[in-house]
Amino acid sequence: MLIGLAIRDIVLIESLDLSFGPGLTALTGETGAGKSIILDALGLATGARGDAGLVRRGASQAVSTAIFAPGPDAAAWAYLDEKGLTYDRDEDLVLRRVVGADGRSRAFVNDQPTSVGVLRDLGAALVEVHGQHETVGLLDARHHVTLLDRFGACDGAVQACRQAWSAWRAARERAETLKAERERVAAEADDLTARLAELDRLSPAEGEAAALAEERAILGAAEKTLSEIASARDHADGESLSARLGQAYRALERAKQRALGAGVQPGGPAVQRIAAAIAAVDRAMIEAADAAAAIDTAAESFEFDPDRLEQAEERLFALRAMARKLSVEPDALPAARADIARRLLALETADEAVAAAEAQATRMRDAYRAAAAALTAARTAAGDRLAGAVQAELAPLKLDKARFRVAVDRLEDDKAGPTGADKVEFQVSTLPGAPFQGLGVIASGGELARFALALKASLAARGLGPQPLMIFDEVDQGVGGAVADAVGVRLRRLSAGAQVLVVTHSPQVAARADAHWRVRKAGEGERLRAAVDVLPAPAREEEIARMLSGAEVTDAARAAARALMHA
């Protein structure tokens, strides 16, 4: 709902801040006082066309800021997500529009720069304007099916139709995919058969190419590598090195015994150092033997066979050539062979698979048609009920010559969709004997607004949930007395649990409001400004009495005003 509107330097309004509440709010005042400026300002903030003519004389720019508090599940939040605009669902939604004296316009959502189109889309979700041919939502037949479904509680039938449509579409896509695959494989069958034969002759193994590449690298480096290993073996000749180390070991042992025989203490430092040398030589003898064995093992890994190198290279080249032909990696050749074999095998049973898929698609199409037919029946019945409800509202609103109907026309399959196969349009015949046509044939702005009121009142009677702010601009135009009272009653009923703003010259309508604002002119000449008074009960009575009697307010008019307010 709309909770605030801040207007700065728009036409006759220099600065005005308005707070809105739920229920029915009436705007009254003399003709030309500035009531339309408030609606223009709200329209500006919600994406209506703006130009330099809206800027108050002497000001550099006009600014209109509308503050909304949408419900947690309002469509506006999803739209902000789609546009990448940040918000907090626990906070207000602020739409702001700035128009410069040069006619240039800027738009903001929660102080984030955006386009006027975004404001317009948000405004369409948050505000409905009825009157003076601005009943856009109801004139657009694209919205009628949604309104009818909500009125008729067709959610279950719509969901069943949506699910049947999805199943039919999936079945059609599967059948088309299988047919396309059959045709593609059939066109390539000879080539695939030849490639499968080549692969069978080649018989690639899993991981073979990687293993061959490694073997080729080893064999290619084997001759020089073996030469280097042989040189290492010569330098680390195990037998001669071990013999020399053995001589060193025995010499150190003799030195140790000679020292002990000469009376050197066994635990003394001299003997200990000789013992450490003996231990080191012993370790060296062991390491030398291990080194020689390791060199011999390394040499065994590089057995050089020129024939084997040539075989490995030829095999690897053959695998890589086939991989290039199939546009795969060499190690993927076994998988490619399996895929070709699968496709050729599938071709043998493709006709049966396609026939089964097409039969399934036909069953799903029939199921969709049945669901769509059930939805059509539900919509037709709901349309009859809605037509009856609207027709009952027309006579009290001085539209007794008009007739209303809901046209539900069945579409062909190629024009059907997930929400059914129906074209729904609200139609009216304005005169006896005249053909039914779209709502746009209603020429009078006042009649159009009253027709919208009748339709909205009928829809709201079914408890359709949260409604946007509904604005009725001079819905009582050209009527009075009992008709104006009927308008007021319906506006009051429509505002239960919703927010309705009505611009009115009718005391019968104003008397039904929950809140009453009077728009007046203040100042003179160049200082002439529009002002808004929020009227308490006594002032409301006086304003309604003025509306009843004219310039001179009489006691009789005040009494009549009290009677209207308490009716």
Annotate 353-369 with b (16+ C-beta within 10 A) or e (fewer). bbeebbebbeebbebbb
Mean pLDDT of 71-90: 87
Crossing angle of the two packed helices 75-83 and 116-126, in degrees rounded to 10 = 160
Beta-strand relationship, 127-130 and 469-473: parallel
pLDDT of residue 115: 93
pLDDT of residue 413: 79
pLDDT of residue 26: 93
* Comparison of pLDDT for 145 and 269, the residue scoring more: 145
Two tokens at 303? 């057995």
What values do phi and psi take at 525, rounded to 5? 55, -130
The CB density around residue 400, as the number of other CB atoms within 10 Å, is: 10
Confidence of residue 301 (pLDDT cuts 50, 70, 90): low
219 is a domain residue: yes
Annotate 527-549 with b (16+ C-beta within 10 A) or e (fewer). eebbbbeebeeeebbbbbbbbbb
pLDDT at residue 227 greater than cutoff 70: no
267 is a domain residue: yes
pLDDT of residue 133: 47
Instruction: Show Cβ contacts of residue 142 under 8 Å, excluding neighbours closer than 6 positions.
Output: none
| Tens digit of each residue's pLDDT (9 = 90 or more) over 254-281 | 877 877 777 777 778 877 888 888 888 8
* Comparison of pLDDT for 255 and 8, the residue scoring more: 8
Measure the CA–CA gap between 71 and 69, rounded to whole angstroms: 7
46 is a domain residue: no
* Comparison of pLDDT for 478 and 184, the residue scoring more: 184
Evaluated on CA atoms 407, 410, 415, 418, the torsion sign reads positive
Which range, 120-124, 145-149, 165-169, is most confident? 165-169
pLDDT of residue 463: 58
421 is a domain residue: no
Two tokens at 147? 């309104």
Which range, 234-243, 301-310, 335-344, 442-451, is most confident? 335-344
Residue 144 CA: distances (Å) to CA of 129, 137, 435, 553: 16, 9, 19, 46
Instruction: Show Cβ contacts of residue 327 under 8 Å, excluding neighbours closer than 6 positions.
Output: none
pLDDT at residue 464 greater than cutoff 60: no
| Tens digit of each residue's pLDDT (9 = 90 or more) over 30-64 | 877 778 889 889 999 999 888 899 999 889 999 99
Q: Residues, the chain, total?
A: 567
Query: Of 81-85, 144-148, 488-492, 521-525, which range is least confident?
Result: 521-525
Mean pLDDT of 276-300: 79
Angle at CA 554, nearest 5°, toward 548 and 555?
Answer: 110
Measure the CA–CA gap between 68 and 93, rounded to whole angstroms: 5
Mean pLDDT of 127-153: 78
The CB density around residue 116, as the number of other CB atoms within 10 Å, is: 18
* Comparison of pLDDT for 407 and 468, the residue scoring more: 407
Mean per-residue pLDDT of the chain: 84
pLDDT of residue 304: 55
Mean pLDDT of 166-181: 92
Measure the CA–CA gap between 196 and 189, rounded to whole angstroms: 10
pLDDT of residue 131: 66
pTM of the model: 0.63
Instruction: Show Cβ contacts of residue 415 under 8 Å, excluding neighbours closer than 6 positions.
Output: 421
126 is a domain residue: no
293 is a domain residue: yes
3-class secondary-structure state, position 479: coil
Burial of 558 (0-12, 13-18, 19+ CB in 10 A): middle
Confidence of residue 550 (pLDDT cuts 50, 70, 90): confident
Burial of 312 (0-12, 13-18, 19+ CB in 10 A): buried
Measure the CA–CA gap between 446 and 505, rounded to whole angstroms: 12
Q: Which residue from 495, 459, 461, 428 is spatially nearest to 146, judged by alpha carbons? A: 459
Q: Which residue from 440, 438, 495, 493 is spatially nearest to 471, judged by alpha carbons? A: 495
Measure the CA–CA gap between 415 and 146, rounded to whole angstroms: 17
| Tens digit of each residue's pLDDT (9 = 90 or more) over 386-395 | 999 999 988 8
3-class secondary-structure state, position 536: coil
pLDDT of residue 552: 82
339 is a domain residue: yes
pLDDT of residue 222: 61
Two tokens at 98? 């700035």
Confidence of residue 109 (pLDDT cuts 50, 70, 90): very high
Domain of 276, in residue numbers: 178-348
Mean pLDDT of 511-539: 85
75 is a domain residue: no
Measure the CA–CA gap between 184 and 180, rounded to whole angstroms: 6
- Cβ-contact 428, 451 below 8 angstroms: yes
Count of structural domains, the chain: 1
Confidence of residue 233 (pLDDT cuts 50, 70, 90): low
Mean pLDDT of 355-361: 93
pLDDT at residue 132 greater than cutoff 60: no
Q: Which residue from 129, 91, 123 is spatially nearest to 107, judged by alpha carbons? A: 123
What values do phi and psi take at 166, rounded to 5? -60, -45
Two tokens at 484? 């104006």
Mean pLDDT of 121-126: 89
